[in-house]
């Protein structure tokens, strides 16, 4: 908390807060809980379209899938905790986002894990990577919610740090909607689930400041302890309670613990709350009111119910062997009062906790894009650098540790453009997350637009009509003028791109102060998207013998922030620009081609360019190809730029020859560049062979992640 904020609190309260009140205020006025630096900018994001039932403002957003089914979606970060204690930090990140979905009245059905680390050459980064993956795997597997996709990236700005973002979707019937706020006084507040311990105390304040050099030792107590078995019971008990229709409001206890959950639940509509903190079931002896009120112990939910319904719901919780206690009540007067063994130990206007003033920080533009020439590099060398990059190789080692089949809904499994989950006999839900910090670092506005465009392309590539978005914005300290500028530019880019596609953000998360000892991370917005797809229309992701190979979209020499430049050590350049009209037109064309059955396989072009996209399709179908890159509609006559440019708006499609004329009519920019077949991947330029590799050899390189971790094949 800043000095001017402490002064303001004293003025508004008219006295000096006591120790407990200061602790509660510090939690609620933290960046993590209050969004005080980001709120003014987040208002730029579109939050309504014809699919949106509930936009930002509660624990998760809600999107209409059909008249009987709503989809609930949210995304959270658990960066600081995972950097300090990777297993527990990542696991509790999963637990928290699952409860966010649950407390809207939905059954959680799938997770995504966009995760990022420093270079794998360093032992500390390998340790963080392996234990973050293990934390996500163990927790998700044990609660029976499949992790069906995500993305993994390695970047030098994350050395000894990690970004752990987790997105979750759930399904619900409209009649089961429960809000996170109360609309009447007199309700009883029931705390259900795990006992409250000393873990996670000051978690949100710890997440609202930079990590120091000795964070692993000093901040471990701020990391919550995961208990997936209790979470599984909590999921079933909560849903059974919700289905009675007697739950008036519901909140997950995450950041800020009981203080945050109770004050937000009561304060949103102007009510107050009385909390009897000594009634809270405690895990450890000798706890005091301060510890109880701000502990972030996991696997806890706060229910608001009418007095006459308390016993009925209590029986449900007991059936699942969950502890439950009436810890307070909602009152008319807008105050937040805490009692401890009969003594009033805190008494604050509830607005002082829930209505935190915004902060606008100074901004400073940093122009990093500059003209650079593509280095003289032969095609084969460029290909090997990109294809063997840790950012391009297969992440199967990760998702093979996840049970992505549990619940039996996963129709399109990890490794494709987007996962698809069966919702009913006819339709599925496509779910994907994307981000590109290298692009965003060089140009935050256009990098953010690119993230939205890539999400749309990934949804469309599995035949899905995009419905809605959520965003997770990972940045260094907003007190740095160049960071705050990049944040504002990023939000502008996210807003403009979403508006162009008619999409809305229904939920999101902002994570600031991602830096270790004065080393800020690159600006990293992650965008996750939902789409609706007819199950019988999902195209293949790989080649089949005899199909023609076409390229949709136009290629420019846009290599700034590309995987090729990163591997060659080239800084600068200009990142790809999204042409919104073309991007939208190409997405619509792809959806038409899929619906008409004109294309057999589709894959979007992004990281690693056309070359990587072609070989990924070859490996998926275990079928080779021959292409002539000089036929790619392009602004450049350089085969390396053509192959590895990361221009937006492009797709690789494979189709029977008889459909060629009809496909051509769907796109402004389209060309046939070759044919699928054989056992080799062959690249030509004007008829001259540039590279020939057996698909089996390329597959072995693609599956080399275990080797980078020092594991035996």
Please report the pLDDT score of residue 404 as a whole number: 75
Average pLDDT over residues 207-212: 62
CB count within 10 Å of CB 366 equals 12
Token representation of residue 445: 């506005």
pLDDT tens digits along 148-179: 999 999 999 999 999 999 999 999 999 999 99
Can you tell me which residue has the tokens 């020092």?
A: 710
The arrangement of strands across the sheet holding 188-193 comes to 249-252, 300-305, 188-193, 324-331, 272-276, 335-340, 343-349
Q: Which residues of 634-659 are buried (b: 16+ CB within 10 A; e: fewer)?
A: bebeebbbbbbbbbbbbbbbbbeeeb
Average pLDDT over residues 5-34: 96
Which of the four pLDDT bands, split at 50, 70 and 90, describes residue 208?
A: low
pLDDT tens digits along 477-500: 999 999 999 999 999 999 999 999
Which of the four pLDDT bands, split at 50, 70 and 90, describes residue 217?
A: low
In whole angstroms, give the CA distance from residue 94 to residue 241: 22
On the 0-12 / 13-18 / 19+ scale of CB atoms within 10 A, 389 is middle
Please report the pLDDT score of residue 212 as a whole number: 64
In whole angstroms, give the CA distance from residue 459 to residue 528: 10
In whole angstroms, give the CA distance from residue 317 to residue 324: 7
* Segment (H or E) for 324: strand 324-331
pLDDT over 80 at 5, yes or no: yes
Token representation of residue 42: 């987040």
pLDDT over 70 at 448, yes or no: yes
pLDDT over 90 at 516, yes or no: no
In whole angstroms, give the CA distance from residue 436 to residue 153: 9
Q: What pairs with residue 77 in β-bridges? A: 165
CB 466 within 8 A of CB 73: no
What one-character DSSP code corresponds to residue 219? Answer: S
How large a percentage of the chain has pLDDT more than 90?
Answer: 91
Q: What pairs with residue 505 in β-bridges? A: 469
Q: What is the average pLDDT score of the chain? A: 95
Closest by alpha carbon to 430, among 532, 521, 567? 532
Can you tell me which residue has the tokens 């509609």?
A: 633
In whole angstroms, give the CA distance from residue 56 to residue 292: 29
pLDDT over 90 at 621, yes or no: yes
Closest by alpha carbon to 617, among 604, 632, 630, 631? 604
Fold for 178-356, please state it.
Phosphoribosyl-aminoimidazole Synthetase; Chain A, domain 2 (3.90.650)
Average pLDDT over residues 653-669: 98
Please report the pLDDT score of residue 255 as a whole number: 85
pLDDT over 70 at 271, yes or no: yes
In whole angstroms, give the CA distance from residue 6 to residue 702: 54
pLDDT over 70 at 203, yes or no: no
The reply to whether domains 178-356 and 539-713 share a CATH topology is yes
CB 395 within 8 A of CB 129: no
Rg (CA), the chain: 26
Which of the four pLDDT bands, split at 50, 70 and 90, describes residue 108?
A: very high
In whole angstroms, give the CA distance from residue 256 to residue 207: 11
**φ/ψ (deg, to 5) at 99:** -70, -30
Active-site residues, by number, are 32, 78
Cα 330–336–340 angle (5° rounding)?
95
pLDDT over 70 at 35, yes or no: yes
pLDDT tens digits along 294-347: 999 999 999 999 999 999 999 999 999 999 999 999 999 999 999 999 999 999
Please report the pLDDT score of residue 224 as a whole number: 78
Average pLDDT over residues 687-712: 92
Token representation of residue 402: 């996840």
Closest by alpha carbon to 434, among 132, 46, 149? 149
Please report the pLDDT score of residue 157 as a whole number: 93
DSSP per-residue string spanning 263-314: HHHHHTTT-EEEEEGGGS-BSSTT--HHHHHH---SSEEEEEE-GGGHHHHH
pLDDT over 90 at 74, yes or no: yes
Which of the four pLDDT bands, split at 50, 70 and 90, describes residue 713?
A: very low
CA distance between the termini of the chain: 50
Please report the pLDDT score of residue 492 as a whole number: 98
Per domain, the residue ranges of the chain are 178-356, 539-713
Which of the four pLDDT bands, split at 50, 70 and 90, describes residue 413?
A: confident
Q: Largest Cα–Cα distance in the chain?
A: 87
In this structure, whether the domain defined by 539-713 belongs to CATH 3.40.50.300 is answered with: no
């Amino acid at each position: 908390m800043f000095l001017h904020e402490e002064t303001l609190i004293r003025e508004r309260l008219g006295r000096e807060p006591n120790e407990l009140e200061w602790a509660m205020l510090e939690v609620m006025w933290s960046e993590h809980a209050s969004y005080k630096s980001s709120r003014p900018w987040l208002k730029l994001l579109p939050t309504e379209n014809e699919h949106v039932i509930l936009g930002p403002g509660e624990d998760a957003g809600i999107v209409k899938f059909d008249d009987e089914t709503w989809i609930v979606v949210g995304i959270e970060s658990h960066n600081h905790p995972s950097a300090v204690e990777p297993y527990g930090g990542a696991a509790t990140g999963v637990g928290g986002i699952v409860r966010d979905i649950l407390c809207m009245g939905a059954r959680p059905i799938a997770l995504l894990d966009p995760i990022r680390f420093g270079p794998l050459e360093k032992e500390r980064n390998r340790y963080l990577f392996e234990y973050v993956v293990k934390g996500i795997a163990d927790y998700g597997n044990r609660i029976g919610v499949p992790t069906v996709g995500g993305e993994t990236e390695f970047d030098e700005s994350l050395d000894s740090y990690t970004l752990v973002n987790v997105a979750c979707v759930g399904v619900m019937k409209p009649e089961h909607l429960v809000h996170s706020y109360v609309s009447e006084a007199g309700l009883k507040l029931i705390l259900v689930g795990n006992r409250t311990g000393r873990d996670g105390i000051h978690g949100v304040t710890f997440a609202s400041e930079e990590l120091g050099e000795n964070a692993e030792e000093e901040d471990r107590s701020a990391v919550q302890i995961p208990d997936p078995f209790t979470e599984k019971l909590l999921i079933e008990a909560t849903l059974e309670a919700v289905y009675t229709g007697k739950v008036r409001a519901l909140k997950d206890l995450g950041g800020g613990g009981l203080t945050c959950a109770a004050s937000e639940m009561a304060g949103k509509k102007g009510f107050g709350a009385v909390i009897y903190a000594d009634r809270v079931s405690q895990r450890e002896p000798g706890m005091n009111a301060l510890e109880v009120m701000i502990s972030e112990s996991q696997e806890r939910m706060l229910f608001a119910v009418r007095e006459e319904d308390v016993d009925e719901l209590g029986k449900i919780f007991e059936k699942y062997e969950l502890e439950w206690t009436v810890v307070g009540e909602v009152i008319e007067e807008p105050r937040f009062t805490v009692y401890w063994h009969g003594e009033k130990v805190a008494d604050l206007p509830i607005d002082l906790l829930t209505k935190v003033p915004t902060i606008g920080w100074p901004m400073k533009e940093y122009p990093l894009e500059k003209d650079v020439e593509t280095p003289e590099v032969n095609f084969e060398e460029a290909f090997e650098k990109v294809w063997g990059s840790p950012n391009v190789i297969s992440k199967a080692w990760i998702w093979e540790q996840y049970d992505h089949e549990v619940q039996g809904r996963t129709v399109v499994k990890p490794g494709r453009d987007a996962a698809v989950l069966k919702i009913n006999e006819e339709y599925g839900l496509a779910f994907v997350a994307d981000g590109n910090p290298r692009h965003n670092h060089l140009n935050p506005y256009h990098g953010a637009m690119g993230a939205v465009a890539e999400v749309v392309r990934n949804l469309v590539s599995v035949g899905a009509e995009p419905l809605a978005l959520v965003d997770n914005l990972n940045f260094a300290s907003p007190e740095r003028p160049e960071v705050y500028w990049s944040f504002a530019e990023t939000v502008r880019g996210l807003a403009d791109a979403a508006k162009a596609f008619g999409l809305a953000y229904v939920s999101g998360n902002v994570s600031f102060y991602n830096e270790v000892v004065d080393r800020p991370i690159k600006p990293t917005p992650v965008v996750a998207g939902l789409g609706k797809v007819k199950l019988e229309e999902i195209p293949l992701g790989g080649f089949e013998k005899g199909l023609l190979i076409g390229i949709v979209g136009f290629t420019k020499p846009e290599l700034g922030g590309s995987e090729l430049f990163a591997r060659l050590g080239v800084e600068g350049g200009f990142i790809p620009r999204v042409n919104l009209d073309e991007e939208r037109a190409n997405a619509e064309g792809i959806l038409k081609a899929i619906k008409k059955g004109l294309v057999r396989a589709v894959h979007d072009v992004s990281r690693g360019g056309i070359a990587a996209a072609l070989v990924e399709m070859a490996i998926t179908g275990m079928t080779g190809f021959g292409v002539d890159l000089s036929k790619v509609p392009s602004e450049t006559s350089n085969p390396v730029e053509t192959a590895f440019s990361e221009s937006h708006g492009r797709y690789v499609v494979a189709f029977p020859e008889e459909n060629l004329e009809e496909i051509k009519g769907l796109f402004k920019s389209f060309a046939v560049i070759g044919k699928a077949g054989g056992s080799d991947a062959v690249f030509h330029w004007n008829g001259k062979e540039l590279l020939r590799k057996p698909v089996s050899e390329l597959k072995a390189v693609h599956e080399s992640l275990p080797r980078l971790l020092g594991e035996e094949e």
